[in-house]
Amino acid sequence: MTNRKGTLIVLSGPSGTGKGTVLKHFFENYADDKIKLSISATTRSPREGEVNGVNYFFVEKDKFETMIENDMLLEWAAFCGNHYGTPKAFVDENLENGCDVILEIEVQGALKVMEKRPDAVFVFIAPPSMEELKSRIVGRNTETDDVIDKRMETAKWEVKNISKYTYAVVNDDIDKAARKLKTIVDAERLKVEKINLQF
Amino acid sequence: MTNRKGTLIVLSGPSGTGKGTVLKHFFENYADDKIKLSISATTRSPREGEVNGVNYFFVEKDKFETMIENDMLLEWAAFCGNHYGTPKAFVDENLENGCDVILEIEVQGALKVMEKRPDAVFVFIAPPSMEELKSRIVGRNTETDDVIDKRMETAKWEVKNISKYTYAVVNDDIDKAARKLKTIVDAERLKVEKINLQF
């Protein structure tokens, strides 16, 4: 199994599907040390408790722009005045070392990665239904009606792109969804191109 | 999950890799009722205990030839003066009903199925090494040196085709190999084209 290159697994889905929670549960319960979570770079300030190099790579805006110019990001986007992106180096070093890397990004970012990395595996975390998604977003009780409508608009566009993904996991139960993610990771390791057989 | 079409899973590998044993262990321990084992048609006589429609469909030679002429077989081959083939009807009916179907066939037959059914999933059951394969064949104590040499020749040709397969499972432990097969079956059910999502 030496020399086996890792697999890039891109996880996305609409805001409110609980993809972050599924991923956290996966890493706490089902991951081994051969799979790493990609750490994003961001220009936003660290929130309380966030650690540089653990939650994010916190960088200044001009540093981020240099990263864009030097093609050091796999994808990047701007949200609420801040930049977020995926540093290539972390991803590629781990893949070369035979580790799988999971990337949690927005659907828009995932579509960009599909072009650049057709050998990656794309997992769509889907809500059981759009009604359920809406009630989850409403249930957070933190958003105005306008924001909720905007989110649902975006979510409708996002689910339309599901057929471009490799796998779909419906998140109706966090543990089940995390185990399905493990099944996908395990199966990808059995792909013939990932196995080093010496005959 | 209604209307979901099943997946055709073709399992093969050199004689002596224990693919039959792995498959039996899989069906006894890890299969649900949504996966069926394809039953071959053969012109050979039933051995003691073999039941028509369970172990094989036992057919007369002219019936078999009619099946070939009418394109009723997914693949067929002759061994030791008898014909063996995979009836399409059993496979297609189950796939249409949303069941997965596992087909255990020789590598030569699998290569034919690759052309006809590119949407199928191909699993190569590999020996840990060619030395191990030889010692398993020798260990059966039922074959002459000539037969062993012939088998090893065939096996060498067969493993050269491994890169044409989707997945590879090294059979170094029957239970582990059967669980890997289950992982593959479960992951294939998470493929986006297999999931009926109504958004």
Tens digit of pLDDT for each residue in A72-94?
Answer: 999 999 888 899 999 999 999 99
Give the per-residue pLDDT at A1: 44
ipTM of this predicted complex? 0.92
Residues of A in contact with B192 (CB under 8 A): 124, 162-163, 165-168
Number of cross-chain residue pairs from A and B with Cβ atoms under 8 Å apart = 80
Would the CB atoms of A167 and B183 count as touching at under 8 Å? no
pLDDT band at A136 (very low <50, low <70, confident <90, very high): confident
Q: Is the pLDDT of residue A198 over 80?
A: no
Give the per-residue pLDDT at A145: 87
Give the per-residue pLDDT at B136: 86
Average pLDDT, chain A: 93
Q: Which of A10, A129, A160, A192 to mutate to test the interface with B (most CBs of B within 10 A)?
A: A192
Nearest residue in chain B measured CA to CA from A187: B184
Nearest CA-CA distance, residue B170 and chain A, Å: 9
Compare CB distances from A192 to B163, B187, B193 and report the shortest one's residue.
B163
Compare CB distances from B167 to A183, A190, A199 and report the shortest one's residue.
A190
N-term to C-term CA, chain A: 13
Mean pLDDT of A46-52: 92
Give the per-residue pLDDT at B197: 80
Q: Which of B7, B183, B191 to mutate to test the interface with A (most CBs of A within 10 A)?
A: B183
Would the CB atoms of B192 and A163 count as touching at under 8 Å? yes
DSSP string, chain A: -TTPPP-EEEEE--TTS-HHHHHHHHHHHT--TTEEEPPEEESSPPPTT--BTTTEEE--HHHHHHHHHTT-EEEEEEETTEEEEEEHHHHHHHHHTT-EEEEE--HHHHHHHHHH-TTSEEEEEE-S-HHHHHHHHHHT--S-HHHHHHHHHHHHHHHHTGGGSSEEEE-SSHHHHHHHHHHHHHHHTTBGGG-----
Would the CB atoms of B184 and A187 count as touching at under 8 Å? yes
Question: Alpha-carbon distance B11 to A17, whole Å?
Answer: 36
What does the pLDDT profile of chain B (199 residues) look like in tens digits?
456 899 999 999 998 899 999 999 999 999 999 999 999 999 999 999 999 998 899 999 999 999 999 999 999 998 888 999 999 999 999 999 999 999 999 999 999 999 999 999 999 999 999 999 888 888 877 778 888 898 899 999 999 999 999 999 999 999 999 999 999 999 999 999 998 787 7
User: Which pTM does this prediction carry?
Assistant: 0.92
Residues of B in contact with A179 (CB under 8 A): none
Q: Chain B within 8 Å of A56 (Cβ-Cβ)?
A: no
pLDDT band at A197 (very low <50, low <70, confident <90, very high): confident
Considering only CA atoms, which of A84, A108, A90, A92 is closest in space to residue A13?
A108
Nearest CA-CA distance, residue A175 and chain B, Å: 16
Q: Chain B within 8 Å of A131 (Cβ-Cβ)?
A: no
Q: Is the pLDDT of residue A2 over 60?
A: no
- Counting Cα atoms < 13 Å in the Cβ hemisphere of A123 gives 31
Nearest CA-CA distance, residue B90 and chain A, Å: 27
Give the per-residue pLDDT at B3: 67
Considering only CA atoms, which of B98, B109, B84 is closest in space to residue B8?
B98
Give the per-residue pLDDT at B1: 44
Mean pLDDT of A164-190: 97
Residues of B in contact with A163 (CB under 8 A): 192-193
Mean pLDDT of A7-26: 94
Q: Chain A within 8 Å of B197 (Cβ-Cβ)?
A: yes
